[in-house]
Amino acid sequence: MIRYLKHKQIDKKKWDLCIERSVNSLVYGTSWYLDFVSPHWEALVENDYTSVLPLTGKRKYGITYLAQPFFAQQLGVFSKKNLTAEKILLFIKAIPERFKYVDINLNYRNTFKLPGIRTEKRLNYQICLNQGYDKLYNKYSANNKRNIRKACEKTLFLKKITNAEDILKLKWQNLNLHLHSYHRRILSKLIMYSLEHQYGEIYGVYDDKNELVASAFFLFSGKRLIYLLSVSSETGKENRAMFFLIDQIIKKNEGKDKILDFEGSEIPGLEQFFSGFGAVPVDYARLIINNLPRGLKWLKSRTYT
């Protein structure tokens, strides 16, 4: 039986045990992570937390809807048992009717074709690091190898950073797209909490003047190193510092039973950057359900066609 639970009704210990033991465990689904990215999240829970689906609700213009939170690439159904299309469909149909519009990302184990349900394919990019560095390097593109060689001609060095303010300051100084102050605060809290509880780590690239020119925050998710945040200064871009950083991270983790998860992107340049390190695409699905009133339904559907 699938039950709808409000936030205060959720047993977070049982929830996190389900996420930890699920066949498709991802840190995005843990209670502590959801508390940051969607503070009033609710849930669908099967039996005694055998399978779960977080409901990341919002409200606008008097309409309650489900939206994918910032900084959480994939959610959807998590389960201790192997998932089937029938199980995913049961959860989707159990979403309360008060959520008039749904636009969320399911996870990489929720990619079944579902009759009568609209989904769109999204791509993540990842590298299995359980090989030696030489084999991993041989999968790099010619362009990435060239940029790494250029970076190595500069006096660059990699160092672990323990202060979240370093990467955040560099990010805000070199932010290309507008990011609302609310989301900046969430990101800051996420990184600081992760460092405090050893759920992630930051690496920085420094130049010959000992200035930080590039940095990346990696979030731990089981065997995954999730490339959650990255930034390069203009000097860092000129020196190909991010190519250097990723290559060094791959070197540090070569031969380990780990996955470097780039989170994917629909931006062609980033796709080229990720695949240039030998990263392969892995599907996940975007779920869209439009039960808005007729006028709003037409307007919203126009946005996604």
In the chain, the number of structural domains is: 2
In whole angstroms, give the CA distance from residue 303 to residue 278. Answer: 34
Question: Is residue 269, in this structure, part of any structural domain at all?
Answer: no
146-149: long-range pairs with CB below 8 Å, 24+: 147/240, 147/243, 148/240, 148/243, 148/244, 148/247
**pLDDT (0 to 100) of residue 205:** 98
In whole angstroms, give the CA distance from residue 220 to residue 199. Answer: 5
Question: Residue range 160-171: average pLDDT?
Answer: 94
- pLDDT grade for 269, boundaries at 50, 70 and 90: confident
Question: Is residue 170, in this structure, part of any structural domain at all?
Answer: yes
85 and 145 share one domain: no
Residue 303: pLDDT over 50: no
CB 107 within 8 A of CB 284: yes
Residue 126: pLDDT over 50: yes
Which CATH number fits the domain that encloses residue 73? 3.40.630
**In this structure, what DSSP letter does residue 157 have?**
E
The pairing of beta strand 63-67 with beta strand 101-105: parallel
Which CATH number fits the domain that encloses residue 171? 3.40.630.30
Residue 122: pLDDT over 60: yes
pLDDT in tens, 13-40: 999 999 999 999 999 999 999 999 999 9
77 and 6 share one domain: yes
Residue 56: pLDDT over 80: yes
Question: Is residue 266, in this structure, part of any structural domain at all?
Answer: no
89 and 139 share one domain: no
In whole angstroms, give the CA distance from residue 155 to residue 79. Answer: 48
Give the residue from 240, 257, 274 where a domain finishes.
257
Residue 302: pLDDT over 60: no
Question: Is residue 19, in this structure, part of any structural domain at all?
Answer: yes
94 and 23 share one domain: yes
Domain span including residue 103? 2-122+284-303
Question: Is residue 152, in this structure, part of any structural domain at all?
Answer: yes
* Local structure of 282: helix, strand or coil: strand
Q: Give the residue with greater pLDDT, 69 vs 265.
A: 69
201 and 92 share one domain: no
Question: Is residue 36, in this structure, part of any structural domain at all?
Answer: yes
52 and 112 share one domain: yes
73 and 164 share one domain: no
CA distances from 40 to 2, 61, 199, 278 (A): 20, 18, 22, 38
150 and 229 share one domain: yes
151 and 236 share one domain: yes
32 and 75 share one domain: yes
Report the half-sphere exposure of 25 (CA within 13 A, side-chain side): 18
Question: Is residue 138, in this structure, part of any structural domain at all?
Answer: yes
Calculate helix-pair angle for 164-173, 181-196, nearest 10 degrees: 160
CA distances from 250 to 31, 63, 198, 218, 256 (A): 30, 45, 20, 12, 10
- Tell me whether residue 146 is exposed, middle or buried, using C-beta atoms within 10 angstroms of its C-beta: 0 to 12, 13 to 18, 19 or more: middle
Taking Cα atoms as reference points, which of 33, 35, 42 lies closest to residue 66?
42
**pLDDT (0 to 100) of residue 300:** 54
92 and 31 share one domain: yes
136 and 253 share one domain: yes
Residue 297: pLDDT over 70: no
- pLDDT grade for 131, boundaries at 50, 70 and 90: very high
In whole angstroms, give the CA distance from residue 9 to residue 23. Answer: 24
